Structure 1
Amino acid sequence: MAIRSVFDSSAIRTEFEKAGINTNFIHLIWKYVIQNPNCELDEVPSLPAAAYPLLRSKFKPSTSTLHSVIESSDEVTTKLLIKLQNGAFVEAVIMRYDSRLGKYNGKPRPGGLRSTLCISSQVGCKMGCKFCATGSMGFKNNLSSGEIVEQLVHASRLSQIRNVVFMGMGEPLNNYAALVEAIRVMTASPFWLSPKKITVSTVGITHAINRIHNDIPNINLAVSLHAPAQDIRCQIMPAARAFPLERLMNTLREYQNNSQQKIFIEYIMLDGVNDEAQHAHQLGKLLETFQVVVNLIPFNPIGTLSDFRTSSEHSVTRFQEILRSAYNIRTTIRKQMGQDISGACGQLVISMPDKRSTGNEEPLIDIEDLHL
């Protein structure tokens, strides 16, 4: 049996309970490991004697290693290539913001420096979205909860992480048990992330959406809608056939009634596919009875993997104006970070880059700004 990560919460808790060891010591172990990157578990101080042989035989401080760190040309985006215990790789992306720059609703922005971590939940992805590089990999395997948490551990040694978004490789709700367990670890000692600073993105796995509010309340739900009609969704998102739009919208309505939280709608702008005025009106009518924030995402090039083109700035602005003026729907346009290191939305696919483009990217609207 493979050695487990010490951050695999259910595994270490089960072993401690079987051995009669107080599980409160687990949080002390996590804190020590975070603060001492190259430690051995024998070095964790003040544990019961019975804990040391158990930890030594069944757990590691980290089952993954940070293979490489790639900085964007503007130095505000960092892509982490992380090697897992089974030899596979996943990517995570740190996006840094200074919330004092610019204005929000005509007023100075609150706060200061903060970082958002984009986390992966799977190696590859089953969903096969045609505009996403990760989908071209196919599905390899789910990450354990410890492997998910370890991405936060690696990133926190490079930057103070305030927000976490599950928008990296994989469909988070297809790895539901590990996702829930990892978020419960992240929101407890010693991480103490606020659930309101965690966002889970999904293509619309309806049966999991029905459960998520009860299992991890107060987190944010983001739905990769990307089209206002079922036929277009199926064209660009093959998985949409299993989750018809009408059923998805009914599920979101129930989720919103139960959670009383706004829902974030992700909408990638594809030239001539879903970016025309008629599509904006269709989307407005679909969402006008919901409390939502629509995030329009300019398509990021993924080389020869796709024939799609990025919508023009005029099309994106017109789309936003229709949603705002005709339907009073709050709508933002995502400004991309990390395109030059293939770390932007939809670009995560395992590669060992040997060169970078020289593009200078504008900063992404921070997920935290959407709550203001």
Structure 2
Amino acid sequence: MAYRSIFDGTELRAEFEKSGINTRFIPSIWKHVLQNPNCKWEEIPSLPSTVYPLLNSKFKPLTSTLCSVTDSTDGVTSKLLLQLQSGAFVEAVIMRYDTRLGRYGGKPRPGGPRSTLCVSSQVGCKMGCKFCATGSMGFKNNLLAGEIVEQLVHASCISNIRNIVFMGMGEPLNNYMALVEAIRTMTRSPFQLSPRRVTVSTVGIIHAINKLQYDIPNLNLAVSLHAPVQDIRCQIMPAARAFPLEKLMDALRVYQNNSQQKIFIEYIMLDGVNDEEQHAHQLGKLLETFEVVVNLIPFNPIGDLSRFRTSSEVKVNSFQKVLRSTYNIRTTVRKQMGQDISGACGQLAVNLQEKICTSADRLADIEDLPL
């Protein structure tokens, strides 16, 4: 029998209600597991006696195992390799920042050290983006809501997580119900993350974008645009054929009008493909009526899996200047983090032949996006 994660909130509430148990005990159970990931159910105090046999028969504190943590040489990035109950593997990445080191509007930024967790929502991905290592894996399966939340539980044992970005393995909006349930859990006690500190990245699943603003208000939306015209998008992102650029922009306009929030535009810089000055002007004209932040992403090489090259720093700066100066679009360049451990954008992929997680390997304990 496969046990469910205690963080599968919908399943847990349904079992409690079926057994006549008050669901008000759920946050205290989650809090105990968050603080004691390897606990026994009997160790949780002050629960009704009927709760313990139910938990023992159907749920586990964690259904995933943290197999390894690989730290970048600069110490600011950690890649977590997790094995799911099914035997499949996923990766998540912790990125550490100190906002006091940056400047905003010419003045020192407030704040201090903080960590962002890049979360996976699927094993592999069916979008097949040509520049992304995860796409080379193909699609294996969706993660359950509890498996998504458990990435935060594991990461919280390593660092104090302040922000969540769904930019790991998979297309989040292709696993919609689990995504929504996981975010609702993350924004409740004991995690209590603000929806404004959660960002969901998508290649542009239009029907899901239309639902998201109502299911989780105040969430940050990031769109992997990567090209200013449909032809180029289809060349580098085969899934774009199902989501024409014109219809996607219409959906984003409705989303923004309803949410009154900025939309983050992700744009990977591919030498000679989408990084010329004409492309910058095309992108500027496409976005000039929106409130957006464009994040230019240096391409991270993925060995023999890609024919693309990284745009030069000169081209990236020129592209940024066009968007800023001509179209007054706020534009940032994503800091390279975790490239040496294949934990940077587009590099997450699990080689199952090399990532065997044995009992001896298991560990018992263990951006900000601009607004």
TM-score by length of 1: 0.95
- Equivalences, count: 359
Structure 1 residues 156-171: aligned runs within 5 Å: 156-171=156-171
> For residue 214 of structure 1, what is the aligned residue in structure 2?
214
Cα separation, 2, equivalents of 1:37 and 1:9: 17
Residue in structure 2 matched with residue 151 of structure 1 by the alignment: 151
Compute the displacement of 1:353 (Å).
Answer: 7.5
Partner residue in 2 for 1:367: 368
In structure 2, what residue type is equivalent to 1:168? G
Structure 1 distance, partners of 2:41, 2:130, is 44
Any stretches of 5+ residues in structure 1 without a counterpart? 355-365
CA–CA distance in structure 2, aligned partners of residues 123 and 349 of structure 1: 9
Q: Distance in 1 between matches of 2:80 and 2:301?
A: 20
The percent of aligned pairs where both chains have the same amino acid is 77
The letter of the residue matching 2:45 is P
Q: For 1:234-272, what per-residue CA distance to the aligned partner results, in whole angstroms no more than 9, with x for missing partners? A: 000000000000010000001001101000000000000
- 1:156-175: CA deviation from partner (whole Å, max 9, x where unpaired): 00000000000000000000
Contact 2:38 / 2:62 at 8 angstroms: preserved in 1? Answer: no
Asked if 2 retains the 8 angstrom alpha-carbon contact of 1:42 and 1:56, the reply is no
Residue 142 of structure 1 is matched in structure 2 by 142
| Aligned-partner Cα distance in 1 for 2:210–2:111 | 34
Which residue is 1:362 aligned to? none
Q: Distance in 2 between matches of 1:350 and 1:102?
A: 33
Write out per-residue CA displacement over residues 217-244 of structure 1, whole angstroms, 9 at most, x where no aligned residue.
0010000000000000000000000000
In 2, Cα distance between the equivalents of 1:100 and 1:327? 29
> Does the 8 Å CA contact 1:118/1:164 hold for their aligned counterparts?
yes
Partner SS for 1:347: coil
Q: Is the 8 A contact 1:6 1:12 kept in 2?
A: yes
One-letter amino acid matched to 2:180: V
Q: Does 1:333 align with 2:369?
A: no
Match of 2:52 in 1: 52
1:241 partnered with 2:237: no
Q: Report the counterpart of residue 198 of structure 1 in structure 2.
A: 198
**Mapping 1:172-191, distance limit 5 Å:** 172-191=172-191
Letter in 2 for 1:315: K
CA distance in 2, matches of 1:42, 1:266: 47
CA distance in 2, matches of 1:73, 1:175: 33
Question: What does residue 42 of structure 1 align with?
Answer: 42
What does the per-residue CA deviation read over 1:66-118, in whole Å, with 9 as the maximum and x for residues that have no partner?
Answer: 01000000011000000000000000000001111132221011001100000
Q: What code does the residue aligned with 1:124 have?
A: G
What's the counterpart of residue 118 of structure 1?
118
Structure 1 CA distance, aligned partners of 2:172 and 2:355?
26
Q: Which amino acid aligns with 2:265?
A: I
Segments of 5+ residues of structure 2 without an aligned counterpart are 357-366
Partner Cα distance (1:96, 1:234) in 2: 34
AA matched with 2:28: L
Can you list the C-alpha shifts for 1:168-206, whole angstroms capped at 9, x where unaligned?
A: 000000000000000000000000001100000000000
Partner of 2:26: 26
Alpha-carbon deviation of 1:42?
A: 2.2
Q: TM-score, normalised by structure 2?
A: 0.96
Following superposition of structure 1 onto structure 2, how do residues 342-361 of structure 1 map, counting pairs within 5 Å?
342-351=342-351, 352=354
- Could you say if the C-alpha distance between residues 53 and 61 of structure 1 is closer, same or farther in structure 2, counting changes exceeding 3 Å? same
Query: In structure 1, what residue type is equivalent to 2:30?
Result: W
Residues 32-86 of structure 1: CA distance to partner in whole angstroms, max 9, x if unpaired?
1111121112221111111111100000000001010000000110000000000
- What is the aligned partner in structure 1 of residue 360 from structure 2? none
> What is the root-mean-square deviation in Å for CA atoms of aligned residues?
1.0
Q: Which amino acid aligns with 1:273?
A: V
Which residue number in structure 2 is paired with residue 105 of structure 1?
Answer: 105
Amino acid in the other structure paired with 1:303: G
Helix, strand or coil for the counterpart of 1:290?
A: coil
Counterpart residue type for residue 151 of structure 2: Q
Aligned-partner Cα distance in 1 for 2:246–2:209: 14
